[in-house]
A and B are shown apart, each in its own frame.
Chain A
Amino acid sequence: MEYTPDKSKIAKRIARFFKSGDIVNLGIGLPTEVANYLPEGVVITLQSENGFVGLGPVPKPGEEDFDLVNAGGMPVTILPGGAFFDSCTSFGIIRGGHLDYTVLGVLEVDQEGNLANYKVPGKLIPGMGGAMDLTVGAKKVIAATLHFDKGNCKLVRRCSLPLTAKGEVDYVVTDCGFFTIENGKFVLQEYFKGYDPDFIIKNTPADIVVSPNCKEIDI
């Protein structure tokens, strides 16, 4: 069994969590791609922490409005019915429990639900941006990550990097499978075609329990 990185599997699986009416914040990068895979008929509202709800697709070249950007500073659009607000209202929405989901990228995620994604001391210090507020505030926190990066597993027993949030992660979706976090362990709920629980357990330096309802998914 060989590992082949595939970000689209992660985005596709995460998109299936949502139901119509959910308010969702997608982080920059891989999480943003989730919006491309929403099942037909599911209508969600995307919140952009720089100050609006109703985030729409990227504009056509030549139609960019530089007063309308996403949290990465890139031009986007707003859908009919969307609304702008200031940063305090934006983070009131986030901290106040008004988001159903937040999807965030990962440097490390551990079996206690701790997430590290904003700092590698001495190397990379981009800052936490809105990630610390999003993780404490959203009803469900989804960590989205390739299972391995440059040979290292992103799922660990205990994060070694500075934490973005302590014990806030609910779901972890990698390109190998979908895990919940329960009682200090990763619980494998689904494994994606091409992998099996043995492969995942053998190659992940953390405690993994296989859910009695665990199943294979072709994604």
Chain B
Amino acid sequence: MIEKPIMRAEEAVKQIKDGAVIMVGGFMGCGTPLSLVNALDKQGTKDLTLICNDTAIYNPDKNLVTGVAPLVVNKRFKKIIASHIGTNRETGRQMTAGETEVQLVPQGTLAERIRAAGFGLGGFLTPTGVGTEVENGKQIIEIEGKKYLLELPLFADFALLKAKKADKAGNLIYSKSARNFNPIMATAAKVVIAEVDEIVEIGQLDPDDIVTPFIFVSILVLNENKKK
């Protein structure tokens, strides 16, 4: 079995250039690779497109900043594709001010569009959003009397994931609800960088426990600020 490169976060994000499309795992910051987010922020890469469930929590009054929020605050994105931005007031401000383009996508549709990209599908039909603004500009297809929207796949240049444990081949195991979008995003990007709390030798993970098979993972990074 071939071992995957293990890099420091700052080294791993070097290949992410201005204008890249990135997917970042996590849900309100839970399951987001913070070492990678911090390294990318420090690197100052700009004009990125973000695909993420939400823009996490930014509430300076309560000293709460989670997940991808620092990248939003430091205006690293020209476009954000997410299902929810309500807990990060800076995203809303940038959207209203016309500084950042924000595209809201229903959460199930977002997950499935990413999956479609990774699973070789040209799109899928969903009843979600029929009769709402979400259907604008989309093909509506009727099957057995029921209306569906044709939703298209969503690809990225890079996926930044967070998992609990990897073996050196890149097989991944997740922790509790920190799994969320991570295993799906692993399939849909050209380069997949997985930040993990622990890296073990090949053969030390039970193949039955592995959620993301090594074939999807390009680079491993050890979480640099592991704390609970």
Contact = CB atoms under 8 A, between A and B. Distances in A.
A127 interface: yes
A15 interface: no
Contacts of B107: 49, 87, 91, 128-130, 132-133
B92 interface: yes
Nearest to B116: A88
B30 A95 contact: no
A65 B133 CA distance: 37
B225 to A, nearest CB: 13
Contacts of B184: 86-88
Contact of A166 (B29, B53, B132, B183): B132
Nearest to A132: B106
B182 A136 contact: no
B132 A68 contact: no
A73 to B, nearest CB: 3
Interface string B176-212: 1111111110000000000000000000000000010
B96 to A, nearest CB: 7
Given A86-B180, A132-B134, A71 B106 contact: no
Interface stretch (A157-165, A179-187, A195-203): A157-165
A136 B31 CA distance: 27
B20 interface: no
A19 to B, nearest CB: 26
Interface size class of B (residues with CB under 8 A): 35 or more
Contact of A129 (B83, B102, B112): B83
A95 B83 contact: no
A90 B53 CA distance: 13
Contacts of B84: 126-129
Most buried by A among B96, B107, B183: B107
A72 interface: yes
B132 A164 contact: yes
B50 interface: no
Interface in A113-166: 122, 124-133, 136-137, 162-166
A136 B180 contact: no
Contacts of A66: 30, 228
B179 A85 contact: yes
Interface in A59-80: 65-69, 71-73, 78
A interface bracket (residues with beta carbon within 8 Å of B):
35 or more
A95 B183 CA distance: 19
Contacts of B128: 95, 132-133, 136-137
Contacts of A208: none
Nearest to A134: B108
A163 B132 contact: yes
Contact of B183 (A48, A49, A86): A86
B106 A84 contact: no
B180 A50 contact: yes
A87 B180 contact: yes
B76 interface: no
Contacts of A78: 176
Contact of B96 (A72, A87, A122): A122
Nearest to B88: A126
A51 B182 CA distance: 11
A95 B134 CA distance: 16
Interface of A: 48-52, 65-69, 71-73, 78, 84-88, 90-91, 94-95, 122, 124-133, 136-137, 162-167
23 contacts: A50-B28, A50-B177, A51-B27, A65-B228, A66-B228, A67-B177, A68-B176, A69-B28, A84-B174, A84-B179, A86-B111, A87-B27, A87-B53, A88-B115, A95-B108, A126-B85, A126-B87, A126-B92, A127-B82, A130-B106, A132-B132, A137-B127, A163-B132
In the complex, the 8 A-B pairs of residues with the closest C-beta atoms, listed nearest first: A126-B86, A73-B28, A166-B131, A91-B108, A133-B108, A132-B106, A127-B84, A87-B111
